[in-house]
Structure 1
Amino acid sequence: MNQKRVIEVAATLFLEKGFAYTSMDELVRVSKVSKSNVYYHFSDKEELLEGVVDYWIETYQRAIDQILSQNQLSVEDRVQMFLKHLSQGVQSREYKGGCPFITLYIQSPTHASHIKEKIGLFFTGLQMKVSLLLKQGVEKGEFRNTIHIDEVAALFITNLEGALFISETLKDATVITKTASQFFNLLR
């Protein structure tokens, strides 16, 4: 329970203040978990960063798998449900760290290649899941059957990342869902 608490607090602080600007002492203070307990679970801040990346990956995977399973809804409705969930997260963080993965990737120490690889694998997996959704959309007649599914999935993710960044700079989470609507209109 303490380990989970420290990761959740770190997940918020790293996005709000930055990995480099968050001290272990501050984590102890905010999480109200003793210093010895924090160091029992994480030998250093980098190990904690890896735990935070895993936390975000699991959070996103859960949300994505939930929308993938709701076959009764259109692909666009399912994706928009997921994006509304993302938008709420962005708003609740007061527009800091629009995309946790890019924020943490950029903030990762240069030598932390295993953390960067983990984030890369997350995006590879995400693209496969978006391809799966697009395939379902084509099969259901939502999208035209001439689209190149994998290329469009890659474009969708690039588009989403841009929308997340712009929503952060404009402090407007509606950019995320509006951009996706415009994207889907191009696929009909």
Structure 2
Amino acid sequence: MEESSRTAAVARLTPRGAKTRAKIVATAADLIRARGVGGTTLDDVVSASKVSKSQFYRHFDDKTALVRAVIEYVGDRKISEERERLENVGTFAGLRRWRDAVVENNALQSGRYGCSLGSLANEVSDQDRVARLKLNELFDTWKELFLVVLRRFQENGLIPDEADVDRLATGFVASVQGGYLLAQTARDVAPMASAIDVAIDNLRLLAMVDEGELGKLRA
């Protein structure tokens, strides 16, 4: 089924159908989080969701369609979580509190599962163009959250107006993603904390550079 047709079909679901679909997606997201896309079968999802195969196939044509729905579900949840953490950050103290919250949350599982979006991107980007584009859109949205914070820093006079906030925002996303990966392999969030600290330290260094000196550093 084409993506537009599938979206229209979802919109026409009855409340009961919508509840069943949501249960399937949430269950699949949990299984994929623990086992990966490749390690999760449709039979696993059907069994864990406590639905019949006929119920499953009323909502999804195949595993690809299910994974795309999981990306939407996980992405919406992740972006909402990060938006809440970052929406009032406008000082270095606030940025430090954000950093602590991200690291502490990942420490609950000793970093073993990494980033939900990063893990999905690693598994599906080369197999499904639609999924890759959606993931890219989600990472762009995440970057925009950092852009808002960095522009707020400029408005508050904490970093120079000439600072390349687009580049800095990309660096923050990269530091978080790299941190998740390092924590996952080490089963320890200390490398994640260090990776994010480097991004924050870079911002502190910018705060000590006036706009004229910033231009010289770029030359």
TM range (shorter): 0.7 to 0.9
Relative contact order higher in (CA < 8 Å, ≥ 6 apart): 1
Counterpart in 1 of 2:156? Answer: 140
Counterpart in 1 of 2:132? Answer: 116
Larger Rg: 2
Q: Which moved more, 1:142-151 or 1:32-41?
A: 142-151
Q: Which moved more, 1:44-53 or 1:10-19?
A: 10-19
Name the count of aligned residue pairs: 186
Equivalent AA in structure 1 for residue 64 of structure 2: E
CA distance in 2 between partners of 1:119 and 1:94 (Å): 21
CA distance in 2 between partners of 1:129 and 1:51 (Å): 23
TM-score (norm 2): 0.73
Q: Which moved more, 1:36-45 or 1:80-89?
A: 80-89
**Counterpart of 2:134 in 1: which secondary structure?**
helix
Q: Structure 1 residues 174, 84: CA separation in 2 closer, same or farther (over 3 Å shift)?
A: farther
Is 1:156 aligned to 2:164, yes or no?
Answer: no
Counterpart in 1 of 2:39? Answer: 21
State, as a whole percentage, how many aligned pairs show the same letter: 20
CA contact (8 A) 2:171 2:199 kept: no
TM-score (norm 1): 0.83
CA contact (8 A) 1:75 1:134 kept: no
- Aligned-residue CA RMSD (Å): 2.6
Is 1:95 aligned to 2:112, yes or no?
Answer: yes
Structure 1, gaps ≥5 residues long? none
Shift of 1:60: 1.6
CA contact (8 A) 1:57 1:122 kept: yes
Q: Which aligned runs of 4 or more in structure 1 are off by greater than 4 angstroms?
A: none
Structure 2, gaps ≥5 residues long? 1-18, 205-219
CA contact (8 A) 1:64 1:82 kept: no
Q: Which moved more, 1:166-175 or 1:81-90?
A: 81-90
